[in-house]
Structure 1
Amino acid sequence: MTESRETCFWIFLFVLSKIPELGDTVFLLLKRQPLTFLHCYHHATVILFTAHIYVDFAATGIWFCALNYVVHAFMYSYYTVRTVGFRVPRWIAKVITCLQILQMVLGTAATAGAFYYKMRRVPCQMNGANIVVSLALYLSYWVLFSIFFRNSYVKTVSKCKTQ
């Protein structure tokens, strides 16, 4: 795969978009809300990971960017609507978390596919380090977002049923 100027430009903008996304951390701090491990870990590693994708021009990078943009469009729209004072049904937050988990599943699958092609010696613009980092991050995100889902939506439902 050859690097096109247009693709490089959009991936570069994607990397830069991770900086203003730290704004939600500022809002949480200003509201004196605690920062979770998931929040800090995810934001810190995503910035580094997207820079790694850009520098290596990883073959899976465009998929990662597209998935992330779609999920974040829903997520930040939800945050905006809530911030301006509208009540949003709880099921919407649940769907957004499911989309985040799906993003991690698809990211893991894309990386596993790249690894498969790499092992079969099919030309694939992805180096071993990127595959290892991608798999480690996507699997850890998958686990952490699943735990968040369980703690936020499953445990609270079972508590309500027992009371």
Structure 2
Amino acid sequence: MLVKMQEYTQVTSPNYSFLFNFESDFIHEKSHEWMIDNWTWGFYYCGIYMILIFGGQFLMQNRPRFDLRGVLVIWNTMLATFSIVGASRMVPEFFHILTQHGIYHSVCVPSFIELDKVSGFWTFMFVLSKLPELGDTIFIVLRKQPLIFLHWYHHITVLLYSWFSYTEYSASARWFIVMNYCVHSIMYSYYALRAMGYRPPKQISMVITFLQLLQMVIGCAVNFWVLQLIQGGAKCHVTPLNIKLSIAMYFSYFMLFARFFYKAYLSGEKRTTKMPTGSDYPLSKSKVH
């Protein structure tokens, strides 16, 4: 069910200072049709991903680790740049909707996809980006660094949920995408600096992990509020199945991130686990030495 364009007659968009050609030429109907036809391919990609990372770990057991510092710098810089640009393009629409149309619209009306070409384009780019982000794990495997459950579990579930949600034009995704772009902007920039040999204060990694936790709390809160709106009879462009999947995903992330946060920063235990390479995954003491 798509919200018809005539329902957007009173909806306004922010005044962008400029538009890229690829933004103004974006046609959301085509991307939506493509995702409806192809989103289930995500399961195959995740299956290949699992085979590569665990098969790779097996093959690397008796081989020397790769350094890959130069490639790591390029990789994290590219992801940081992508996230910064995505955040800068979507945040204006997010705050415009909140201030001009209210919080109900922000979680229940998918105008950010169907009406606003800028946020519509960067929403589709966000969804697609979850596939190349699987490449984060390749660095962990080739550099023979610890690969914990949260890392690959997060990558798989985010890809599948994002692709599925795009087929439904889930309105609450406006919040999830903006939060993720913002956190990734900071996180991948941190990874890039570490890969370049800089040593930012260790408190920064704690702040990033806290922001990741906060992201999970807000994600759960948004879902519960949407559920209350629907139960109260409000019209909201989020399906019950999507809400259930999103709550399960965000709550599981919260538990795993909270456990790591406690062990890494509050328990007083000596941290020996190295920080993973460029992924939306808790930070620990060191990584890119």
State whether TM-score is above 0.5.
Answer: yes
Partner of 1:149: 261
Which of 1 and 2 has greater Rg? 2
Partner of 1:62: 174
Task: Tell me, in whole angstroms, the C-alpha distance in 1 between the residues paired with 2:184 and 2:237.
Answer: 26
Kept after mapping to 1: 8 A contact 2:170/2:239: yes
Shift in Å at residue 23 of structure 1?
Answer: 2.7
Equivalent position to 1:49, from 148, 156, 161 = 161
The correspondence of residues 1-12 of structure 1 with structure 2, limited to 5 A, is: 1=109, 3-4=114-115, 6=117, 7-12=119-124
4+ runs of 1 displaced by more than 6 Å? none
Letter in 1 for 2:123: I
After superposition, give the CA deviation of every residue in 1:79-103 in whole Å (9 maximum; x if it has no partner). Answer: 1100111112211000000000000
SS in 1 for 2:147: coil
Task: Tell me, in whole angstroms, the C-alpha distance in 1 between the residues paired with 2:188 and 2:159.
Answer: 17
Task: Tell me, in whole angstroms, the C-alpha distance in 1 between the residues paired with 2:158 and 2:148.
Answer: 15
**RMSD over aligned Cα, in angstroms?**
1.6
- Percent of residue pairs identical: 45
* TM-score for the superposition, normalised by structure 2: 0.53
Kept after mapping to 2: 8 A contact 1:58/1:127: yes
Shift in Å at residue 8 of structure 1?
Answer: 3.6
The correspondence of residues 11-160 of structure 1 with structure 2, limited to 5 A, is: 11-155=123-267, 157=268
After superposition, give the CA deviation of every residue in 1:5-56 in whole Å (9 maximum; x if it has no partner). Answer: 6244322111111123223211111210121100011000000111122111
Task: Tell me, in whole angstroms, the C-alpha distance in 1 between the residues paired with 2:255 and 2:128.
Answer: 26
Deviates more, 1:47-56 or 1:129-138: 47-56
| Residues 18/159 of structure 1: CA separation in 2 closer, same or farther (3 Å cut) | closer
Count of residue correspondences = 159
